[in-house]
Structure formats: C-alpha cells, structure tokens
Structure 1
C-alpha cells in the first residue's frame, strides 16, 4: 500500500504551515497574517496577485477566481507569503514567479505553462532566499527552467509537483564561479518528471535529497552531479526511454579551487527500469556524502514499487481540491 505524505495538510486552511518534509520544513508562509483574496486575473492593480505579493506584511493569499494570469514581467514575492491555489485553477503564463531576497514562502496548487523570454523560469529562486516550500504545482514549457534555485538560496522543499514538456527542468547552483552556493540544501520528493529532457535536477555545490520521485523517458540524463554537489537518491523510480543513462557527472572547476571535479550521487533503494543505468564513478563510495538524517529526523519514505509509480502519475501537480476552511470554522471566500 502506498502511503503519501501530508495526509492532513488540507484539514484546515493553514495546516500547510511548517509541515513540509525535508530542508524546507520550517517554512510557515503567511500563517501569521490575515487571509487576502485575489479577486481578478489582472497582471497588476487592486485585487490582483501582484498587488498582494508586493505587500510587506505576512499574508495567506487565496483566490476567488479561476483562469489564466498572463504575467508581463516576473512577479516578485515578498517574505512571509502563502500563495494558495486550492479551491480554484490558476495558471501562470508569459513570465513566472521570482523569489528574491525573501524567506518563508509556500506556493501550493498552481499551474505554470508557456513562459517566454530569455532567462524566464516558472519559479526563479535567487538570491539569498530561504525556507521555501513548493507543493502540488504543474510546470511545463518555459523558455529557460521550470524551477531554478541559485545564488545562496537554501532550505527548500519541492514536493508532489508534475513536470512535463520541457528541456532544462530544474537547476540547483548557478555556475562554478558562485562558490557561495555551497550552502544550498534542497529536498525533492514525490514528484513526477514526465518525459522532460534533462536536469531532474542538475546540481552544483549543493546538498540535495531526492526520494520517492518518478522520472521517465528523459532525453539526455535523469540527474546530474556537477562541481562538488552531493545528491542522495533514495527509493526513486528511473524508467528509461531511448536514453538509458540515469546518472550524469559533469566536471567543472570551482572559482576558488585549482582542480576541476564533478559531484557525487549516492543511490539507495532506487529502481532502474527499461534498461536505465545508474552508474556511480569509481571511488564514489569512499568519498563523504551527507545523510539526510544529519539535518532532519523523519521523512515519509517507502520502497519503490508499481503502486508508487501509479500514484505519482495521479497525485502530482495541480489537484482539484477545495479550499479548506479556517480552523475553528472560519469564513470561506466571500460570495
């Protein structure tokens, strides 16, 4: 039987706060602020999401409308915000969300599709942002990345998301010159990488815990360890299409080092299907690799199985779930 995490996360409106598994577990979003409703699909102005996200006070942001918000520029999200798409169906197109110099952000149950322009990501997290949880989002077809985590942003969890129709899916760590990215720590779990080409993720410098994800039919590789990165891959399902190499290693030279090196991948309980190859480089088992238990005590983990694979195809990405009431019988959206 498959046991998914967050069984009671929808029991009340703010039950999400501080409940992420993994490195993003301290994110409380806007739990200490009032509920603010987005009442239209405009890019800016009164009642818009952009207007709510720029405000400095904590806010739990919900929607009274469904539809597409076409962003003409990145939508900057300030600290202590929850963008809660439950109860509606909100899709972003044009540009994406930018989490810049902020902390305590929860992004839940939204869709991102059709982002256009140079360096346009679905969700761009940089610089110096922390305590972030991205949950149950569907992301596809952006000109750059779907989620990029760079420039000393850390303590982030990505869970139950569906990635499709894309090339460079998720980049963690900007480039070899940004040695400050050694602080990056990210957990990715119960996600479905559905035929996306590469970067599930590609990592430089950071520590990344992957567990109970399903990655299939990639175009180059599934995950990639670049300079100094440590990727702990635990009970994931890697199902190859035409390309069989699940693990890739790119050698790069950190700006403050003399010798170029790649990263490390530790595979524990992973499934390799349809000829998928999860080779580890010689001597990798002798090098230091972090263990998630050094940073957090528990996480919802089960062995890779056919039932897990089936569930992840259904229960990832945007979900048709109602907006929960406030605990204690608080008000739902105004009529």
Structure 2
C-alpha cells in the first residue's frame, strides 16, 4: 500500500508539532501549552472551543464531545494553538475559522460544511499570519472559499484534506492591489479535490508547491496562475470530466507594475487522465518557476499511480481516529 507522509504522528498526541512537510513545516501549534478540553458544542461560553481559541497562552485543544458547532460569527484563533479533532467528529457550520495576525497554528481532523454569508470561508488566513498547518480536514459548501490565504500570510501547508461540493475552492493571494502577497509561500500535498469547480488553487503573486494531489472532474479549470504567480506542480493526478483544461493563466496588472502579467506553472511528473489537457504558458517560461529545494530539503513524493489515487480517496479528509495518548515527560530526581 502507498505510504503517506508523517504516518507516525498519531503515536502520541503532540507528535504532530513540527511534522508538516513544505512551507508550513515550522508550525508547532500549542506544543508547549496546557491541554484544553472542549466539553461544550456551544458557540461560546465555558468549555467551548471559542473560549479556548481566544486565550493568549499556548494550548493544545482536544474535544471530549462529538457533534456540530454552529458558529454565529467567525471563530478567531490566537497564536500557538492546536485544534486537534482526533478522537471525535466535529463539524463547523454557519461561519468558519479566522486566522488573523497569528502564528504557529495546527488545525487537524475537522469538518467544515454549510458556511453562509458574504466573504464567509471555511478557513480564512489573513492578514499577516504564518507557520500554519491544516491537516486531514474535510471542507465543502461555503458561500465564499473553503480555504483563503491572503494579505501577506505565508508559510502554510495544507495536507491530506478533502474538498467537495464547492465552486471557488482555494484562493491564495488577494487581488492585484495587494502586492505584499509576493511573500506568500504555500505547500499543498496529498489532497483530494473531488469535483470542485475551480481554484485548486488559484494563486496570485506567491509561490505554491503542489505534489501528490488528486484533482478530478473540475468544471472550469484545475489550477490557475494569475499575476506573477509561480506554481510547481509535481507528481499530481489530474482526471478530467467534461472540462479538459487543467492549467489556466489569467493576466492581471499589479498595482505597482507597468505591464500586466500572468503567472507560470511548471509541471513535473504529473499524470493527465481522461483527456485532461495541460495548456501552454502564454507569457512566462517554466524556468521562471522556483524549485522547492530552494526552500526545504525533503518532502515525501512518489509516482502518481493508481494506488496513490485509491489511497487519497480513503485517507484524505476527516478520519475516524482514536485520540492519541498524551505522553507526560517526567524527570528522575
């Protein structure tokens, strides 16, 4: 069976910390904080997730209950937090999580479905947030995006997540006026984009490394590179439905530039199925795209095989996992 990266992180509770691959590899979440147990599915109040997320100290947040948390407003997450859904089944609806001016966040094994309202994303990362890891989450059916990473937020990894029933799936980089988004760096790997219409992802300005993802049955395009974007697409599976175009290039003018530009995509080892058609670069050449080794030494990548496709359909998104044990370090005196 195909082996997945960081397969040993469920051996004990805090083994997740610092184990992301790619740009979010520094994220430690609440590694050095106390354990906080969510005992209430209420939107706020004693024992609620919101109560834990607003605290300023590091916390490793776990759940003692399963069920749906209906968020009346965005749930803001402060720095050095792990929201760890292993051991329970927690679904967010109504609104989503907001990571605003924070760092070192891990979000693991949660579901997001049915977010409603203007600019309501499942997970909204903006502005100026960094060292973020989103792992093994299932996201679907929000009024705006499922994950948005904009306004100078950077060093993010999205791994082994499941995306479905959605239009504008993942936006990275806000718009051509936000030139500060040139700093954005995101890794997306071992994710399953299951019939989402577009933006798997759409990138402006920044750098994105895609590897070992399975994207199928999109309705407009699979991946889009807009103004100055650099996308390194490595060993992914792109399986077309009715629409065959895999890569799209939108030309836009950065507010501080004299000429409009599109982005660029370098495809290495990708597999294109059912007539999927990668399109030619309209402006920039492939040699303008970064190489991941410029930023990190190691990542777990394998050939995009049928076995990988089968594993991703089972192992991406929320998993029925037991909560790992907390190992308490003791010293001999």
TM-score category (smaller protein): over 0.9
CA offset at residue 285 of structure 1? Answer: 3.8
Contact kept in structure 1, 2:160 and 2:189, CA below 8 Å: yes
- CA distance in structure 1 between the aligned counterparts of 2:233 and 2:177, rounded to whole angstroms: 26
Matched ranges for 1:160-199 at <5 A: 160-199=160-199
Contact kept in structure 2, 1:120 and 1:144, CA below 8 Å: yes
Residues 286 and 323 of structure 1: CA distance in aligned 2, closer, same or farther (over 3 Å): closer
Consecutive unaligned residues of structure 1, counting only runs of 5 or more, are 331-335
Contact kept in structure 2, 1:43 and 1:69, CA below 8 Å: yes
> Which residue does the alignment assign to 2:245?
245
> Which residue does the alignment assign to 1:324?
324
> Which residue does the alignment assign to 1:333?
none
- CA distance in structure 1 between the aligned counterparts of 2:121 and 2:97, rounded to whole angstroms: 8
> Which residue does the alignment assign to 1:315?
315
> Which residue does the alignment assign to 1:201?
201
3-state SS, counterpart of residue 248 of structure 1: strand
3-state SS, counterpart of residue 112 of structure 2: strand
Residues 113-147 of structure 1: CA deviation (Å, up to 9, x unaligned): 00000000000000000000000000000000000
Deviates more, 1:286-295 or 1:149-158: 286-295
3-state SS, counterpart of residue 321 of structure 2: coil
- CA distance in structure 2 between the aligned counterparts of 1:39 and 1:80, rounded to whole angstroms: 21
Contact kept in structure 1, 2:125 and 2:150, CA below 8 Å: yes
> Which residue does the alignment assign to 2:210?
210
> Which residue does the alignment assign to 1:41?
41
Residues 206-230 of structure 1: CA deviation (Å, up to 9, x unaligned): 1000000000000100000000000
Contact kept in structure 2, 1:120 and 1:143, CA below 8 Å: yes
Contact kept in structure 1, 2:261 and 2:283, CA below 8 Å: no
3-state SS, counterpart of residue 15 of structure 1: helix
> Which residue does the alignment assign to 1:87?
87
Residues 71 and 173 of structure 1: CA distance in aligned 2, closer, same or farther (over 3 Å): same
Consecutive unaligned residues of structure 2, counting only runs of 5 or more, are none
- CA distance in structure 2 between the aligned counterparts of 1:190 and 1:9, rounded to whole angstroms: 16
- CA distance in structure 2 between the aligned counterparts of 1:41 and 1:319, rounded to whole angstroms: 20
Tell me how many residue pairs correspond in the alignment: 330
> Which residue does the alignment assign to 1:102?
102
CA offset at residue 280 of structure 1? Answer: 2.5
> Which residue does the alignment assign to 2:20?
20
CA offset at residue 326 of structure 1? Answer: 1.1
**TM-score normalised by the chain length of structure 1:** 0.97
Residues 286 and 195 of structure 1: CA distance in aligned 2, closer, same or farther (over 3 Å): closer
1:258 aligns with 2:258: yes
- CA distance in structure 2 between the aligned counterparts of 1:284 and 1:227, rounded to whole angstroms: 10
3-state SS, counterpart of residue 53 of structure 1: helix
> Which residue does the alignment assign to 1:61?
61
CA offset at residue 7 of structure 1? Answer: 1.2
